Amino acid sequence: MKKISEILLKEGIILDLKEKEKTAVIKELSEKLIHLGYITDPEEFFSEILKRENLESTGIGMGIAIPHTRSKAVKELVIVFGRSKEGVDFSSLDGKPAHLIFLIAGPEDKKSEYLFALAKLSKLLRKDELRIELNKAKDEEEVLAIIKRYEI
């Protein structure tokens, strides 16, 4: 199984998200994936990720959201990351807005790798120091370096 730092795309890191609303933020992050060529059918992908979002809150609290989906429209398991200074309302159970948003996209036939990545990332993001450092990271390289350091 791959590490988070191996599937988090450096080109897929947005340090200052333009959008402020949940659906628009998911779209902004999805567009990164589309632009980088990981999505075969953007419409299908977007509709599937929003369908899940409507059924459950992917805001896991502590200022984190992990929107995710497994779809035929995805070529390989990848993660894109966006940071929002103001925070985005992801209907987290703790009522706090999400500042660190990780979007995970996995192919339909890679269920175990996808679940493994979701579990690893959720576990990793429970670490207070890691979240503080991610909120302060100055560039994409630093984001990757922080993730690498904490997942050892």
Partner 1 sequence: MKKILLYLNEAQKETIELALMLAQTFSSRLYVLFCLNSDKIKDEETKDRLEDEGWQKLYDVEEKAFQREIKVSLLFFEGKPENLIYELTKSYEVDTIILNSLAELNLLELINKNKAKTIILK
Q: Kindly give, in sequence order, each residue whose CB lies less than 8 Å from that of residue 96, ignoring residues fewer than 6 positions away.
A: 61, 62, 63, 87
Q: Does 152 bind partner 1 (CB under 8 A)?
A: no
Least gap, CB of 114 to partner 1 (angstroms): 9
In this structure, what are the phi and psi dihedrals at residue 31, rounded to the nearest 5 degrees?
-65, -30
**In this complex, which beta carbon is closest to partner 1, that of residue 37 or of residue 152?**
152
Angle between helices 42-55 and 22-35 (to 10 degrees): 150
20 vs 126: CA distance, rounded Å: 23
Q: Does 13 bind partner 1 (CB under 8 A)?
A: no
**Binding residue for partner 1 (CB under 8 A) from 118, 134, 144, 147?**
118
Residue 100: closest CA among 83, 85, 88 = 83
**Binding residue for partner 1 (CB under 8 A) from 4, 7, 39, 60?**
60
Q: Does 55 bind partner 1 (CB under 8 A)?
A: yes
Q: Which residues bind partner 1 (CB under 8 A)?
A: 52, 55-57, 60, 70, 93, 111, 115-116, 118-120, 122-123, 126
